[in-house]
Structure 1
């Protein structure tokens, strides 16, 4: 397609967008009486209008049924999480028995590490990406120390080559081979939060398994954003937050994946009431009998008020399907990239560098060589909600559910005014 940097062309793309009606299903912050241009769905997705309806339903059941809501609510609380199995399995490419929802992301990664990081005197090292999200770095360090190892000797970071913004796949694979039989675990992000680089998870899994290691992923920036085939890729485990691309609300519940090959294993786990055999849970038995599948990794009674808005969004994903979301994602991100390049041509002082590689999803990280924090502040003051990362990068995520092509054009005009002011 040949793009044009005009309002008429952007509106034409919107008129042809098969997902355009879903924009009306979300609530936008307002700036001077108009919807903001929202680029931070990679940090916190917008609120679906259905979310309040689902939360109100739980509140009404709590008011009218109290404890009996566990069994007699319209959506009984004791098995509320089971409603996520089908939609989440399609989002992440899994079998329904391989997914569950519980806790929050870093807690779930810690719990999964109990099962999947089992260091020995010979096989104890962890491979991860350089500049993984800080929470993951803290988790790695604390887990390693918990097992009595020194993080400096145990955690192997795959680094970017000098002068490059992204990690090369060949460097990941060669480092896995090099660490070899000392490697206990590979735990990567599916999408790098800073650059938006999408990693070849299938190749990483194959390389890790070849050495005898376990391979897992933090999918915080991947779930609901890219095509995932966790079961077919033979991923051992994964976890993701729900409040970014899946629009569940701030700090909300995390999703987990555990491959079915581990469901009948004797892997250790931290057990709790909600992971116990569902049919016998209320018999208060002293011995833990885990639920079959990923639900057996649950620990505590579930936070139904948190799950309600997540379910509203998950059902919307099930209605649309990842294929249509990815199709629009690719087109609208390409259009945004085109507009950035057009402005760069018009205003040489702009000096934009898109550091996100072609292996990407809906995020473009833009290095503002000729600009600085003042430009970011100008955007924010003029109705563009975007994200600043040091030293001089703005992250732009045109989420296909609710951003429009007209948003991309209008952003370009605001950006141009900000540079020229």
Structure 2
């Protein structure tokens, strides 16, 4: 039997197995909470005649295979309902929406919307409600955290350590923070590269700890991703955090790809601070509001807010009126008395539109039992996808790619990064799109495939591998012509 025939047989059997797994999935109900585009919708180049997506849209069998939640999560159906309720409040109440509870409304007053969102996000990141704030966006929050906690001493600890392939925005934030303090990134920024995996830069925990040891005397702050966006590697957050803090290094985690993806215990792990976006696995919508975590030891307010002496007894930070204690926020006094906890790092009043959208998705997480419940399904989905990539593709096409994400399920989230042979990416992405299979690319040669447990199925994994094999065959043919 040829390798192509064998692969076809594997795919046919895998589809039967996938359907059985999907039927037995205790979390299958969460898929119906999302608008999953149909193949026709995903191929369309026109805005629908009605901007309103009807409830149940995309419920037929003609759905696309959407494995791109690591870039932008799909829309929960209840998002439209919650946003319409917000718009109705605004339309009928005007400014009273800030303070006036409405009978029958599931929404908090606008004054309390950030607190409600903090209640919903706290269990997802493993923190107390007081340690989290829903505010700003990811890079803005990283800047705010560094402005509060990065205090360089040019003769001692002044360096910031990050990984060499960090998301570009993290690089930009670090470089500009250094320049803001009059420092040169060439001498005050340390970029970690893996000696054992220089091409992929999959950093082992031992390599990170070794770098911490080597640079501890001069390093003030460590910024690392919970999950590395390019490789999909899940770092050992508790071990790295403890090791760095023992050596006097303040630890900040970028959780853009980890929040809503893997279980987090930021308080118990002793993380100093963290920031995240919400439009990936949290499904809040493109560019939606982010969040931050500040451990309670770093956000205490020791002084009573009625004290008229100059402000002291709390960590200095860039401040705004929404970070002021709610009891005096509308007094319009010019003395800043921050809310105790992470909320005291807020600046302007947050976008209620954004918070409403985010909270709609967080309701689904709550109904699913939280990230811990979803993690088991996620591990099974990603493992199933990995097995199919090894067995469901013909031998010739299998030589055209390799998985760079760690094989150990404990070292990855809901993502496999697949590195193609040079020159294949453009054709492979084109052919996947033609087959209504949505993943994302990272040039020059990587596609990232992310089966999100809230709405993806085992059969989605089969659909991807089948389309990927066809796309590889076309790419190989075009390259040899």
Band the TM-score falls in, shorter-chain normalisation: over 0.9
User: How is 1:203-282 mapped onto 2 (pairs within 5 angstroms)?
Assistant: 203-264=239-300, 266-282=314-330
Q: Which residue of 1 aligns with 2:75?
A: 47
1:23 to 7, 20, 31: 31
Instruction: Please give the secondary structure, in 1, of the residue aligned with 2:334.
Output: coil
**What are the Cα deviations for residues 348-383 of structure 1, in whole angstroms up to 9, with x where unaligned?**
554321000021011000012274321121001110
User: How is 1:8-87 mapped onto 2 (pairs within 5 angstroms)?
Assistant: 8-32=16-40, 34-74=62-102, 75-87=108-120
Instruction: Please give the secondary structure, in 1, of the residue aligned with 2:330.
Output: helix
Does 2:469 align with 1:420? no
CA RMSD of aligned residues (A): 1.5
Which ranges of 4 or more aligned residues in structure 1 deviate by more than 6 Å? none
- Residues 130 and 160, structure 1, Cα contact 8 Å, conserved in 2: no
- Residues 418 and 447, structure 2, Cα contact 8 Å, conserved in 1: yes
- Residues 125 and 156, structure 1, Cα contact 8 Å, conserved in 2: yes
2:355 to 304, 307, 322: 307
Does 2:88 align with 1:88? no
Instruction: Please give the secondary structure, in 2, of the residue aligned with 1:85.
Output: helix
- Residues 137 and 290, structure 2, Cα contact 8 Å, conserved in 1: yes
**What are the Cα deviations for residues 97-120 of structure 1, in whole angstroms up to 9, with x where unaligned?**
101101111111111111111111
Q: Which residue of 2 aligns with 1:327?
A: 376
- Residues 350 and 368, structure 1, Cα contact 8 Å, conserved in 2: no
Unaligned runs of 5+ in 2: 1-9, 42-61, 103-107, 301-312, 475-481
- Residues 33 and 364, structure 2, Cα contact 8 Å, conserved in 1: no
Instruction: Please give the secondary structure, in 1, of the residue aligned with 2:202.
Output: coil
Q: Which residue of 2 aligns with 1:295?
A: 343
User: d(CA) in 1 for partners of 2:255 and 2:34?
Assistant: 23
Does 2:410 align with 1:376? no
Instruction: Please give the secondary structure, in 2, of the residue aligned with 1:398.
Output: coil
Instruction: Please give the secondary structure, in 1, of the residue aligned with 2:172.
Output: helix
1:407: how far off? 1.0
Aligned length: 419
- Residues 393 and 469, structure 2, Cα contact 8 Å, conserved in 1: no
Does 2:152 align with 1:104? no
User: d(CA) in 2 for partners of 1:6 and 1:292?
Assistant: 53
**What are the Cα deviations for residues 307-352 of structure 1, in whole angstroms up to 9, with x where unaligned?**
1110001121122111221011000000110110013454455432
Unaligned runs of 5+ in 1: none
- Residues 344 and 350, structure 1, Cα contact 8 Å, conserved in 2: no
1:416: how far off? 2.1
- Residues 165 and 201, structure 2, Cα contact 8 Å, conserved in 1: no
- Residues 127 and 187, structure 1, Cα contact 8 Å, conserved in 2: yes
- Residues 440 and 448, structure 2, Cα contact 8 Å, conserved in 1: yes
Per mean C-alpha deviation after superposition, the further-off stretch among 183-192 and 410-419 is 410-419
- Residues 215 and 237, structure 1, Cα contact 8 Å, conserved in 2: yes
Instruction: Please give the secondary structure, in 1, of the residue aligned with 2:169.
Output: helix
User: d(CA) in 2 for partners of 1:138 and 1:348?
Assistant: 38
Q: Give TM-score scaled by structure 2 length.
A: 0.85
1:365 to 403, 406, 417: 417
User: d(CA) in 2 for partners of 1:266 and 1:86?
Assistant: 23
1:32: how far off? 3.4
User: d(CA) in 2 for partners of 1:363 and 1:94?
Assistant: 25
User: d(CA) in 1 for partners of 2:193 and 2:395?
Assistant: 35
- Residues 120 and 359, structure 2, Cα contact 8 Å, conserved in 1: no
User: d(CA) in 2 for partners of 1:96 and 1:193?
Assistant: 27
Instruction: Please give the secondary structure, in 2, of the residue aligned with 1:366.
Output: strand
Instruction: Please give the secondary structure, in 2, of the residue aligned with 1:269.
Output: coil
User: d(CA) in 2 for partners of 1:184 and 1:266?
Assistant: 20
- Residues 343 and 350, structure 1, Cα contact 8 Å, conserved in 2: no
Per mean C-alpha deviation after superposition, the further-off stretch among 79-88 and 368-377 is 368-377
Q: 1:330 to 1:349 in 2, by over 3 A?
A: closer
2:450 to 368, 375, 397: 397
- Residues 120 and 362, structure 2, Cα contact 8 Å, conserved in 1: yes
- Residues 126 and 266, structure 2, Cα contact 8 Å, conserved in 1: yes
User: d(CA) in 1 for partners of 2:84 and 2:334?
Assistant: 36
Q: 1:210 to 1:351 in 2, by over 3 A?
A: same
